[in-house]
Amino acid sequence: MKKGETTKTEDPSRLIDARIAELDDWRGKTLAHVRALVRQAVPGVVEEWKWRGVPVWYRDGMICTGETYKNAVKLTFAKGAALKDPSGLFNASLDGNVRRAIDLHEGDVLDEQAFKALVQAAVALNRGRGP
């Protein structure tokens, strides 16, 4: 089986736990922190493991992904272009018609309240109640 592929018996949450532990640096801590914020913002959020090892959060549709790179943790919102971002969290993928992303680098501090509001707005949009 290739890295990131899962079988129907593998628990995506466990795979995300393993990815966080595997990173064992600022990226793992950042991904764990973002994951906790998503869970706080949307109790009962569904976690999946897709595209060769990317955590994805869902509620009535995709909310965002949590990709990890050498120098960044990228949080890509599936319908980010349709979301209001009064705090200016989106700092990547700004030219697209659909997605928007937040790139977090080592030492960055995420505005937790603004992030949770953005996650909740994404869910509202998925439910046809936003932006």
pTM over 0.75: yes
Q: Tell me, what's the pLDDT at 8?
A: 54
Taking the CA atoms of 49, 51, 53 and 54 in sequence, report the sign of the dihedral they define.
Answer: negative
Q: Tell me, what's the pLDDT at 10?
A: 80
Q: What are phi and psi of 86, to 5 degrees?
A: -60, -25
Q: Where are the domains of the chain?
A: 12-126
Q: Tell me, what's the pLDDT at 96?
A: 83
What CATH number should be reported for the domain whose range is 12-126? 3.90.1150.200
Q: Tell me, what's the pLDDT at 42?
A: 97
Walking along the chain (131 residues) 10 residues at a time, the average pLDDT comes out as 51 90 94 97 94 90 96 96 95 91 97 97 88 55
User: Which is nearest to 41 in space by CA: 109, 121, 104?
Assistant: 121
Q: Tell me, what's the pLDDT at 9?
A: 61
Q: Are 54 and 4 in contact (CB under 8 A)?
A: yes
Tokens (6 digits) for 99: 């997605």
